[in-house]
Amino acid sequence: MAANHQWILRRRPVGEIGPGDLEYVTRETAPLGEGEVLVRTVYLSLDPTNRIWMSDQDQYLPPVQVGDVMRGGGIGVVEESRSDRFPVGAVVNTGLGGWQSYVVAHEAALTPVPLIPGVPLTAYMSVLGATGLTAWFGMIDICKPQAGETVVVSAAAGAVGSIAGQLAKARGARVIGIAGGADKCRWLTEELGFDGAIDYKSQDVGAELDRLCPGGIDCNFENVGGKIMNAVVSRMNNFGRVALCGMISTYNLDTPAPGLDDFAGILMRRLTIKGFIIIDYLPRAGEAFADLGPMLLSGQLKWKAHVVDGLENAADAVKLLFTGAHDGKLMVRVSAEP
């Protein structure tokens, strides 16, 4: 048995995550049963949906129960095994193994990580993980950008948005990104090849959309919600498509999230708005990886990882998602890479 450090949900946050909502504890791991393995967590994914899981609002998975280990995705290495499928030393995805330094899981709950020479392990938490899948299915399966169309991506410098925008560019679309800060906007245009970028912190988003999208907007990859979503959707062309990936601006609200101001516009302009959760697309993951892998290996697809060291820092690090103070895919390095 190993000493297992864990973050426990002690109470449901009211507004922003605060002191006492999560508690850092140490417990021993349970003995392995037949077919089970002990996985040492190497990287823990931090995602906006963590805040949703802490609440008891209506959501796509059952809320994390008070007193339980905080839910979260991760990658780790097998330290002990009673499984024929996963020997000691195997690198695996633990699914939603949680905010803990060790995961005891049955082999059926694990997925092997298909390591590619020259590709860092952090990529499997980002562009070759759920982040890349989310960007691909939202942009390619829902938005379906066509050459010459105008695509707007909110939270465009984030882990998902930056990949989604590059996928649209690869298909010949004009891509405008909305991000927070001049440095992030420069990265979008100078490094990722976006056709324009709007700094929502210092610019009038509506006025900039009018300037950069004079012919209207055909596709919206939406990560933010609120006023930014309203500004984009109100400028969409007939038969426009919206992939509703997230509404991070509303996750700390104690009241129901506000919707679109002009709901009738959906009818008048015959818009398609589809909310989606990546777990619904996991059976089709091969379609996305067949596209993402070659783009990554050829250098056509760029991505960033923001790594915070130490599981003990996870509760503070997750707050970076809501301030925009992170840069790329946010994750915690829980232990050394194998």
Burial class (CB in 10 A: 0-12, 13-18, 19+), 133: buried
pLDDT at 133: 98
Are 106 and 141 found together in one domain?
Answer: no
268 and 145, same structural domain? yes
Answer whether residue 57 is part of any domain. Answer: yes
Q: Are 248 and 170 within one domain?
A: yes
Q: What values do phi and psi take at 65, rounded to 5?
A: -80, 140
The answer to whether position 285 is within a domain reads no
Hey, which residues does 198 pair with through a beta bridge?
A: 178
Q: What is the b/e burial string over 305-329, where b = at least 16 CB atoms within 10 angstroms of the residue's CB?
A: bbebeebeebbebbbebbebebbbb
pLDDT surpassing 80 at residue 1: no
Give the pLDDT confidence score for residue 327 in this predicted structure: 86
* Count of structural domains, the chain: 2
Q: Considering the chain, what percentage of its residues have pLDDT values greater than 70?
A: 100
With respect to residue 292, please indicate whether it lies within any of the assigned structural domains. Answer: no
Is there a single domain that holds both residue 248 and residue 135? yes
Domain hosting 322: range is 3-125+304-333
Q: Are residue 245 and residue 205 in the same domain, yes or no?
A: yes
Question: What does the pLDDT look like over 30-83, one tens digit per residue?
Answer: 999 999 999 999 999 999 999 999 999 899 999 999 999 999 999 999 999 999
Residue 72 is part of a domain; what is its CATH number? Answer: 3.90.180.10
Query: Per the domain annotation, does 296 fall within a domain?
Result: no
Whether the predicted pLDDT of 115 surpasses 80: yes
Residues 192 and 271 in one domain: yes
Predicted pLDDT of residue 260: 92
Considering the domain architecture, whether residues 86 and 202 belong to the same structural domain is answered as: no
Residue 286 lies in a domain: no
> Domain for residue 295, yes or no?
no
* Residue 299 included in any domain: no
Q: In this structure, are 135 and 274 located in the same domain?
A: yes
pLDDT on residue 258: 82
Q: Which two tokens stand for residue 84?
A: 């024929």
Check residue 259 and give its pLDDT.
83
Q: Can you give the CATH number for the domain in which 270 is found?
A: 3.40.50.720
Q: pLDDT at residue 257 above 90? A: no
Q: Is residue 290 part of a domain?
A: no
Q: Which contiguous run of DSSP H or E holds residue 8?
A: strand 3-9
Q: Are residues 23 and 140 in the same domain?
A: no
Distance CA 158, CA 104 (A): 31
- Of the candidate ranges 100-104, 187-191, 254-258, the one whose mean pLDDT is the lowest: 254-258
Band (254; pLDDT cuts 50, 70, 90) = confident
Rounded Cα gap, residues 179 and 285, in angstroms:
28
Query: With contact defined as beta carbons under 8 Å apart, do 27 and 228 qualify?
Result: no
Domain co-membership, 39 together with 158: no
Residue 104: how many other CB atoms lie within 10 Å: 20
Two tokens, residue 192: 């990722």
Q: Are residues 269 and 222 in the same domain?
A: yes
pLDDT at 140 over 80: yes
DSSP E strands: which ranges in 194-282? 196-199, 217-222, 236-244, 272-275
The one-letter amino acid code at 318 reads V
Q: Are residues 195 and 274 in the same domain?
A: yes
